[in-house]
C-alpha cells in the first residue's frame, strides 16, 4: 500500500470513518487471519481472536507514530490479541510450535509452560537468533522481510531461525526435566 494512501486510511480510522476502517480490515484480513491460524486450527476461534485484535487496532490507531512499518504494528497488536486469548484459557496454551519436522513436545509437557515462561526462554537465545525468531515466529515476518529489515541474507535468517528452534527445544526439554525432578 502506498504511503500516502496508508496515511489517508489511518487518518480516516482515527476520525472513526467506517469506510476507512473497512478498508484497513479488508487490506490486512487475509495476512492476519493466516497469522492467527498459526496458533489455532479452529477458524471460528481464529476469527474471534482476529476481530478482537482489530477492535484494539481501531482503539489504538491514533497511537501509531509512522515509525517502522504499519503492517508490523498491526501484526504486533494481533499477536497480543492471540497471546491474551490463550492466556485467558491457560489450559489451551499450546501455541509455540518448534518445528514441523521436530518431535513435538507432548501436550502434557506444554501445559506446564505458560506464555511468560516461554518468552523467558526466548530471552535466553543469542541476540541475533532471538531477533530472527521473534520476527519470524511471533510477528509473522517472512525470511525475505527479515533479510531486508536486518540487512542479512535470507540464508542467514533461516540459519538463525534453525539455531533458535534447536536451542529452544533444548531449553524446553531441560526446563521440563528440571520441573519433573522438582516435584
Q: What is the mean pLDDT of the chain?
A: 79
Residue 170 has pLDDT above 90, yes or no: no
Q: Is 161 helix (H, G, I), strand (E, B) or coil?
A: helix
Residue 183 has pLDDT above 70, yes or no: no
Residue 148's Cα: distance from chain center in Å? 19
Please, is 111 exposed, middle or buried when counting C-beta atoms within 10 Å of its C-beta (0-12, 13-18, 19+)?
middle
Dihedral sign from CA coordinates of 120, 122, 125, 127: negative
Query: What is the distance between the alpha carbons of residues 24 and 94, in angstroms, rounded to a whole number?
Result: 30
Domains and CATH numbers, the chain: 3-92 (1.10.1740.10), 107-182 (1.10.10.10)
Residue 97 has pLDDT above 50, yes or no: no
Residue 58 has pLDDT above 90, yes or no: yes
Tell me the whole-structure pTM to 2 decimals: 0.51
Residue 149 has pLDDT above 90, yes or no: no
Flag the least confident range among 74-88, 98-112, 142-156. Answer: 98-112
Q: Are 10 and 61 in contact (CB under 8 A)?
A: yes
**Which single residue is written with the C-alpha cell 492471540?**
82
Amino acid at each position: 500500500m502506498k504511503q500516502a494512501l496508508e496515511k489517508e486510511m489511518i487518518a480516516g480510522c482515527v476520525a472513526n470513518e467506517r469506510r476507512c476502517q473497512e478498508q484497513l480490515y479488508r487490506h490486512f484480513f487475509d495476512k492476519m487471519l493466516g497469522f492467527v491460524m498459526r496458533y489455532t486450527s479452529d477458524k471460528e476461534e481464529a476469527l474471534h481472536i482476529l476481530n478482537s485484535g482489530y477492535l484494539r487496532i481501531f482503539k489504538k490507531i491514533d497511537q501509531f507514530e509512522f515509525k517502522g512499518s504499519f503492517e508490523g504494528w498491526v501484526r504486533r497488536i494481533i499477536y497480543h490479541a492471540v497471546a491474551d486469548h490463550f492466556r485467558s484459557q491457560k489450559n489451551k496454551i499450546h501455541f509455540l510450535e518448534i518445528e514441523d519436522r521436530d518431535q513435538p513436545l507432548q501436550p502434557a509437557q506444554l501445559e506446564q509452560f505458560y506464555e511468560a515462561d516461554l518468552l523467558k526462554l526466548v530471552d535466553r537465545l543469542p541476540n541475533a537468533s532471538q531477533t530472527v525468531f521473534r520476527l519470524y515466529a511471533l510477528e509473522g515476518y517472512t525470511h525475505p522481510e527479515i533479510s531486508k529489515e536486518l540487512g542479512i541474507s535470507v540464508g542467514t535468517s533461516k540459519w538463525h531461525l534453525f539455531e533458535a528452534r534447536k536451542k529452544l527445544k533444548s531449553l524446553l526439554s531441560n526446563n521440563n526435566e528440571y520441573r519433573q525432578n522438582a516435584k
